[in-house]
Amino acid sequence: DAGVIQSPRHEVTEMGQEVTLRCKPISGHNSLFWYRQTMMRGLELLIYFNNNVPIDDSGMPEDRFSAKMPNASFSTLKIQPSEPRDSAVYFCASSPSHGLGNTIYFGEGSWLTVV
């Protein structure tokens, strides 16, 4: 199994630019998550999808952030315009379902630096 695949692994961009992070979940998994990790705030859930439908986006910081899941094998997290405070590691994760006790499988992360 290839695991959760994220791209790009590293991105450095200038403030004001659009950033698009991509994720391919594990085949057959129904739930997909986007997390953000920083030293100050730790690991935060931004949004999660179940069967391609956004279920909870209460963690999305503001309107500059948007996430889509057009099909079961692909999701994007977009930041427009980006700001230095968006610098963080963004993890995509997937799970067989959103049921109790199901393991969440994480990708390797996308390391974003906004200068």
Binding site residues, another protein, CB under 8 A: 4, 31, 33, 42-43, 45, 48, 50, 55-56, 58-59, 91, 93, 95, 98-101, 103-109, 111
> Smallest distance from the beta carbon of 81 to another protein, in angstroms?
27
> Smallest distance from the beta carbon of 33 to another protein, in angstroms?
6
Q: In whole angstroms, what is the distance from residue 45 CA to residue 80 CA?
A: 19
> Smallest distance from the beta carbon of 52 to another protein, in angstroms?
14
